[in-house]
Amino acid sequence: MFPLIFTSVVLQLPFLVSSLSEEECLLTKKETAYKSGDVLIAGFFPLQYMKIARNFGKSIGWDRNAENVRYNFNNYQFILALAFAVEEINKNPHLLPNITMGFSAHSNGIRYHLLYKSLVLSLSGKDFILNYDCKRESQTVVTLTGPAGQISSQYATVLDLYRFPQLNFGRFDPVLSDHRLFPSVYQIAPKDTSLAFAMVSLMVHFGWKWVGLLISEDENGLWMLPQLRQEMNKHKVCTAFEHILPLSFYHEATVFRPFHRKIRKSLTTVVVIYGNNEFVFNFLNAYFTRSLSLGTIWVINSLSTFLYEMKYFLLYSFHAPLIFSHHHGEISGFNNFIKTANPSKYPEDYFLALVWIRFFNCTFSESSCVTWKNCPANASLEWLPRYLFDMGMMEESYYIYNAVYAVAQALHEMLIGQAEAQPVGNGRKLLFSPFQLHPFLKNIHFNNPAGDQVILDGTKKLVAEYDIVNLCNFPEGLRQVVKVGNFSPYAPHGHQLSLSKDMIEWPMAFTETAPSDCNDNCGPGFRKSLQEGRSVCCFDCIPCPVNEISNRTDLEQCVRCPDHQYANTEKNLCLLKSESFLDSRDPLGMTLVCLALCLSALTTAVIGIFTKHNNTPIVKANNRALSYILLISLNCCFLCSLLFIGHPNTATCVLQQTTFGVVFTVAVSTVLAKTVTVVLAFSVTSSGRRMRWLLVSGMPNFIIPICTLIQLILSGIWLGTSPPFVDTDAHSEHGHIIILCNIGSATAFYCVLGYLGSLALASFTVAFLARKLPDTFNEAKFLTFSMLVFCSVWVTFLPVYHSTKGKTMVAVEVFSILASSAGLLGCIFVPKCYIILLRPERNSLHGIQGKTHSWRKKPS
């Protein structure tokens, strides 16, 4: 706890406490870090920057006052990585024996003329003469530049004139990989060709379908944008907005405000920022200084070199962005090296001295600008807050470490193979030109002490693996870089991305994994319907049609249930359909069975009554043979209705319609025969002998076999061509499969039914014409009523039959059979049974004759 308490107290002291002697001593020192050696590596690092003006009332821009030039002390780690690698190599007896490496580290500066000035001074010496090397004891063999590709390309305009090797330690830059434009530039980092896929994999993992893109307006941004589009389209992730920002967007509020409005109007919760470190830092610093955002997730390609002042926007947002950092091995000893670094150990390090003066309130001794006084005991960079200096090795530091080893390997191979290397002077001066290193640098391929491969040839480079980190900064100053996952393009498909969701710090607006959709998801039972003129991720949710389901979220099409299944009420599950038919155990089926049996019993009772009173006048007067045929056929009609009730099978399906057609033909033809007999009987009585021979010959009785034979022929043709069969109907009744008898040939069915109807119509016509005959002696009036009932039932049957489905349709046909048969039984035989049982006095010859005489007295 003591280092943290001490640091927090010390940092409150103003910078002006340093005495004038410290300022004078610093002015006498070069703004470099230097270590002598036989060969030197010149490093140019982004240690200085301008503070962004925070007066947003008018515009956003640079405050160019000298006192606003700031140092990014986090980037001082680059110099430490360079020094650490050089010391390791100098201690290695197997690498560059008898030759020492040194370095000179410079700040890029904040203006281009300073950038070139430090470059020329490093290469030519203190006299600042182009094309001359004024240094005497050492030779600069290579330069380290970066991490931004733009800086390296600017240095290359000078260095390529001399074919001077230049190593970039930033992220892989596709522009720098073009050796026609930059023949002397080598990149240490692996390729970022899988970055777009890695970012989209993160979106897919969390279900983010509505994502904004903020891209830097440079070669790298324009190279990455189509890759992001392609991967997002492939995985159906939509772009809420695309905004390509110029690198100097923070200069003018007119540039800043449009994309700020886009972010707010897009309603997206996820924004991908792609650009170099400076671009990302400037954007976040400007955006969060201006607006408080508690509900946006920032996915960033890299941010390691601009963590200084990160405390501001993280404090405002209360949110840790998700950053894709290159995965790299651990370099043992580097952390201890940082802890022990101090100005006394490295007196020629201007930047380290500046740290000790600013943050530990150290002063130079009065006698010299080398020794120190008033310094805390055991002062160390470890004491600094993490937002000022991070002890963990940044990826750029790791690539600097690899770059130094690559130079050492190339020098080692070159000197071994170069017999012409002759010692000069004190035996330590090397005579060779830096451009001679190119063939060896191009072929560099080795494993560093951490076990990672180092390849400088761009065509053979590996693809980068990524650590996904959360940068947490709450409470302020206690920044933590938390690894929450990783992405490896070499893992099997579907396993490239690995995340620990519980470790992710989400924005305060979300209590769990944050959603990012154009609208709410369509749950099970609904399907997506695209909104016209909008992105495919913007849609309406429409319920699935009848008998279709969707059992997942955001389905574009509902799936129809198989015929043997049906959709439940929520339309998210297909259920097995139950069989449906007119069962005798159902209330409807049981009612019809009971009704059919009762009517059959009643018909049997009528037959019994007629048999018992067989010799009575009323039975004799109504043609006993035809009456018995009619009663038996009616009983068969009642019983044939039972064929329609129960589980259909092939036998019942064949017998249903044919039996119905034949027995009803017998019944209706019997009624027609009875009617014709009555008409002929009265015609004989009134016309003398003219019709007697018809009655004597029994011509009306031939009506029954002739009509029945015709119906049998029609039924035979039906059964021979397309007989009825067992069928299923899975669509008419929801949740049920209807088991029914398909009539087969509809034409044959309607021929049978039409023939039966024509017989009924003929019987009705004849009965209607004979309706005024005496009802005591004959049945003309009752026959008329019976056929009226019969025709009415079957005329009503046809439309009702075609408007119903399933067992209701079968029930309609059964009811029509029972109703029409009951009409014939009731209208024809009930009056006779009434006379026989309740009015026996009328069932006598005297009663019949009385009625007959009274009819004859009536005027014709």
pLDDT, tens digit, 9 for 90 and up, residues 192-251: 899 999 999 999 998 888 898 988 888 888 889 999 999 999 988 988 888 887 776 665
pLDDT tier, 23 (very low <50, low <70, confident <90, very high otherwise): low
Q: Flag whether 269 is in a domain.
A: no
For residue 186, pLDDT beyond 80: yes
Alpha helices in 483-574 (DSSP H): none
Q: How far is CA 833 from CA 452, 617, 634, 839, in A?
A: 113, 13, 16, 9
pLDDT tier, 54 (very low <50, low <70, confident <90, very high otherwise): very low
**Of 14-28, 53-67, 138-152, 770-784, the least confident:** 53-67
Q: Flag whether 188 is in a domain.
A: yes
Report pLDDT for 20.
44
User: What contacts 34, CB < 8 A, 6 or more positions away?
Assistant: 102, 103, 104, 105, 348, 349
Report pLDDT for 618.
81
| Amino acid at position 519, single letter | N
Please tell me which residue, 2 or 524, carries the higher pLDDT value: 524
Mean pLDDT of 24-33: 74
Instruction: Determine contact, residues 241/195, Cβ cutoff 8 Å.
Output: no
For residue 131, pLDDT beyond 60: no
**Of 213-227, 300-314, 604-618, 715-729, the least confident:** 300-314
pLDDT, tens digit, 9 for 90 and up, residues 551-603: 888 888 999 988 888 888 889 899 988 888 888 888 888 999 999 999 999 99
- Supply 739's token pair: 């088991």
Residues 18, 123, single domain; the answer is no
The pTM for the full model equals 0.66
**Of 33-42, 159-168, 290-299, the least confident:** 290-299
Mean pLDDT of 783-789: 80
| Amino acid at position 542, single letter | I
- Supply 77's token pair: 């780690």
Residues 114, 179, single domain; the answer is yes
Residue 854 to residue 852: CA distance in whole angstroms? 5
Residues 171, 41, single domain; the answer is yes
Q: Three-class SS of residue 795?
A: helix
How many structural domains are present in the chain? Answer: 4
**Of 68-82, 450-464, 795-809, 840-854, the least confident:** 840-854
Which residue, among 550, 554, 562, 514, has the nearest Cα to 537 in the 3D structure? 554
Q: Flag whether 261 is in a domain.
A: no
- Supply 191's token pair: 């390729």
Report pLDDT for 771.
65
Residues 113, 76, single domain; the answer is yes
Which residue, among 731, 724, 740, 747, has the nearest Cα to 808 in the 3D structure? 740
Residue 457 to residue 113: CA distance in whole angstroms? 31
How many other C-beta atoms can be found within 10 angstroms of the C-beta atom of residue 483?
Answer: 13
What phi, psi does 660 have (nearest 5°)?
-55, -45
CA dihedral 660→661→662→664, nearest 10 degrees, is 80
Mean pLDDT of 416-444: 70
Residues 782, 637, single domain; the answer is yes
Residues 344, 355, single domain; the answer is no
Mean pLDDT of 57-78: 60
User: What contacts 253, CB < 8 A, 6 or more positions away?
Assistant: 56, 58, 59, 60
For residue 137, pLDDT beyond 70: no
Residues 551, 606, single domain; the answer is no
pLDDT, tens digit, 9 for 90 and up, residues 439-454: 999 999 999 998 899 9
How many other C-beta atoms can be found within 10 angstroms of the C-beta atom of residue 644?
Answer: 25
Residue 137 to residue 617: CA distance in whole angstroms? 155
How buried is residue 46: exposed, middle or buried, by Cβ count under 10 Å (0-12/13-18/19+)? buried
Which residue, among 718, 578, 577, has the nearest Cα to 653 in the 3D structure? 718
Report pLDDT for 187.
93
Residue 185 host element (H or E)? strand 185-187
Q: Three-class SS of residue 836?
A: helix
Report pLDDT for 465.
93
Residue 453 to residue 819: CA distance in whole angstroms? 96
Q: Flag whether 343 is in a domain.
A: yes
* β pairing state of 466-472 and 480-487: antiparallel
Q: Of the spans 285-289, 458-462, 623-627, which averages the highest pLDDT?
A: 458-462
Mean pLDDT of 621-647: 87
Which residue, among 466, 468, 491, has the nearest Cα to 191 in the 3D structure? 466
Residues 678, 756, single domain; the answer is yes
> Can you give the CATH number for the domain in which 779 is found?
1.20.1070.10
Residue 690 host element (H or E)? none
CA-atom Rg of the chain in angstroms: 53
| Amino acid at position 9, single letter | V
Residue 256 to residue 250: CA distance in whole angstroms? 6
Distance from chain centroid for Cα 144: 46
Residues 446, 535, single domain; the answer is no
Residue indicated by tokens 């991070």: 390
Mean pLDDT of 802-824: 85
Residues 10, 157, single domain; the answer is no
* β pairing state of 539-543 and 526-530: antiparallel
Residue 656 to residue 645: CA distance in whole angstroms? 10
Which residue, among 153, 131, 128, 133, has the nearest Cα to 44 in the 3D structure? 153
Q: Three-class SS of residue 655?
A: helix
Residue 452 to residue 251: CA distance in whole angstroms? 41
| Amino acid at position 373, single letter | K
**Of 48-62, 73-87, 716-730, the least confident:** 48-62
For residue 287, pLDDT beyond 50: yes
Report pLDDT for 498.
92
Residues 611, 536, single domain; the answer is no
Please tell me which residue, 675 or 331, carries the higher pLDDT value: 331
Q: Three-class SS of residue 860?
A: coil
Q: Is the peptide bond before 147 cis (omega within 30 degrees of 0)?
A: yes
How many other C-beta atoms can be found within 10 angstroms of the C-beta atom of residue 174?
Answer: 17
Report pLDDT for 207.
86
pLDDT, tens digit, 9 for 90 and up, residues 98-125: 889 999 998 876 554 455 666 666 666 5
Residues 703, 677, single domain; the answer is yes
- Supply 731's token pair: 């669509």
pLDDT, the chain, mean = 79
How many other C-beta atoms can be found within 10 angstroms of the C-beta atom of residue 556?
Answer: 13
- Supply 716's token pair: 């035979």
> Can you give the CATH number for the domain in which 335 is found?
3.40.50.2300
Residue indicated by tokens 């994309």: 259
Q: Flag whether 152 is in a domain.
A: yes
- Supply 92's token pair: 């290695």
pLDDT, tens digit, 9 for 90 and up, residues 343-394: 888 888 888 888 888 888 888 776 567 677 778 878 889 888 777 788 888 8
pLDDT, tens digit, 9 for 90 and up, residues 446-486: 999 988 999 998 888 889 999 998 877 555 545 677 889 99
Q: How far is CA 399 from CA 27, 94, 286, 404, in A?
A: 32, 22, 29, 9
Residue 345 to residue 356: CA distance in whole angstroms? 13
Q: Three-class SS of residue 1?
A: coil
Instruction: Determine contact, residues 80/142, Cβ cutoff 8 Å.
Output: no
Share of the chain above pLDDT 70, in %: 77
The domain containing residue 405 runs over which residues?
A: 27-45+71-192+329-348+387-421+429-459
pLDDT tier, 688 (very low <50, low <70, confident <90, very high otherwise): low
pLDDT tier, 174 (very low <50, low <70, confident <90, very high otherwise): confident
Q: Flag whether 375 is in a domain.
A: yes
Q: Three-class SS of residue 353?
A: helix
- Supply 139's token pair: 């030779």
